[in-house]
A and B are shown apart, each in its own frame.
Chain A
Amino acid sequence: MAQAVLLEMRGISKTFPGVRALDGVSLEVRAGEVHALVGENGAGKSTLMKILAGAQPADSGEILVDGAAVKIGGPRDAERCGIAMIYQEFNVVPALDVTANVVLGREPAAFAGWLDAGAARAAARSTLEQLGIDLPLGALVGRLAVAQQQMVEIAKALLRKARVLVMDEPTAALTDREIDRLFETIKTLRARGVGIVYISHRLEELPRIADRITVLRDGRVVGGGTLAELPQHAMIRLMVGREIDQYYPPLPTLDAHAPVVLSVRDLRSGSAVRGLSFEARAGEILGMAGLVGAGRTETVRAVAAADIPSGGEIFVEGKRLRARGPHDAIAAGIAFVTEDRKGQGLVLGMSVRENVTLPHLELFRRALGFVDRAREKTVTLDLVAELRIRTPSVEQRARNLSGGTQQKVVLAKWLTRRARLFLFDEPTRGIDVGAKAEIYELMVELAKQGAAVVMVSSELPEVLGMSHRVLVVRDGTIAGVLTREEATRERVMALATAARGAA
Chain B
Amino acid sequence: MGAMTGGKAIEERAAVTPARAMWWRYAVVGGVLIVFLALVTTFTHGAFLDPGNLVNVLRQITYNAVLAAGQTFVIVTAGIDLSVGSLVSLCGVVMAMAANALPFHGIVLVGVVLLIGAAVGAIAGYINALPVVRLGLPPFITTLAMMLMARGLAYKLSHGRPIALNSDAFNTIGIGFTLRGLGHLLQMPGIPVAVLWMAVVLIVSGIVLARTRFGRYVYAIGGNPEAARLAGIPTRGVVTAVYVISGICAAIASLLLMARFQSGSPQTGYGFELTVIAAVVVGGTSLFGGSGTIAGTFIGALLIGVLNNVMNLANVESYTQDIALGAVILLALILDQLRKRIWQ
Contacts and interface: CB of A to CB of B under 8 A. Distances in A.
A205 interface: no
Nearest to B226: A344
Given A343-B226, A365-B213, A371-B212, A396 B16 contact: yes
Contacts of A306: 229-230
Nearest to A380: B7
Contacts of A347: 219-220, 223-224, 227-228, 290
A354 B1 contact: no
A441 B11 contact: no
Nearest to B208: A369
A392 B227 contact: no
Given A349-B290, A362-B213, A326 B17 contact: no
Interface string A368-393: 11110000000001101111100111
A386 B1 contact: yes
A190 interface: no
A358 interface: yes
B10 to A, nearest CB: 6
Given A327-B233, A344-B230, A385-B4, A371 B10 contact: no
A359 interface: yes
Given A368-B212, A370-B211, A392-B13, A345 B234 contact: no
A387 B19 CA distance: 25
A348 interface: yes
B224 A442 contact: no
A358 B233 contact: yes
Given A395-B15, A396-B17, A359 B232 contact: yes
A424 interface: no
Nearest to A301: B230
Nearest to B11: A393
A160 B331 CA distance: 39
Given A359-B232, A388-B2, A388-B5, A397 B16 contact: yes
Contacts of B233: 327, 358-359
Given A358-B220, A369-B214, A370-B212, A395 B229 contact: no
A167 interface: no
A305 B148 CA distance: 39
Interface residues of A, number: 50
A232 interface: no
Nearest to A358: B231
A349 B218 CA distance: 13
- Most chain A CB neighbours (cut-off 10 Å) among B16, B211, B214: B16
B18 to A, nearest CB: 6
Contact of A346 (B11, B16, B224): B224
Given A347-B224, A354-B216, A385 B230 contact: no
Nearest to B214: A369
A128 B11 CA distance: 53
Interface residues of B, number: 37
Contacts of B230: 304, 306, 326, 336, 338, 344-345
Contacts, number: 135
Interface string A331-360: 100001010000111111111001000110
A186 interface: no
A381 B12 CA distance: 12
Contact of A445 (B1, B212, B234): B1
A147 B41 CA distance: 65
A394 interface: yes
B11 A351 contact: no
A304 B216 CA distance: 23
A400 interface: yes
Given A306-B230, A325-B232, A393 B216 contact: no
A330 interface: yes
A105 interface: no
A453 to B, nearest CB: 15
B14 interface: yes
Interface in B1-32: 1-2, 4-7, 10-11, 13-19
A113 interface: no
A331 B1 CA distance: 25
B291 interface: yes
A395 B18 contact: yes
Interface string A395-427: 111001000000000000100000000000000
Nearest to A410: B227
B14 A392 contact: yes
Given A359-B231, A369-B212, A381 B16 contact: no
Interface of B: 1-2, 4-7, 10-11, 13-19, 208, 211-214, 216-217, 219-220, 223-224, 226-234, 290-291
Given A381-B11, A382-B7, 6 more contacts: A345-B227, A349-B18, A349-B291, A358-B216, A388-B2, A393-B17
Closest A-B pairs by Cβ, 3 of them: A347-B223, A327-B232, A395-B17
11 contacts: A326-B231, A330-B232, A336-B230, A343-B226, A343-B227, A344-B226, A359-B233, A369-B212, A388-B5, A392-B14, A395-B17
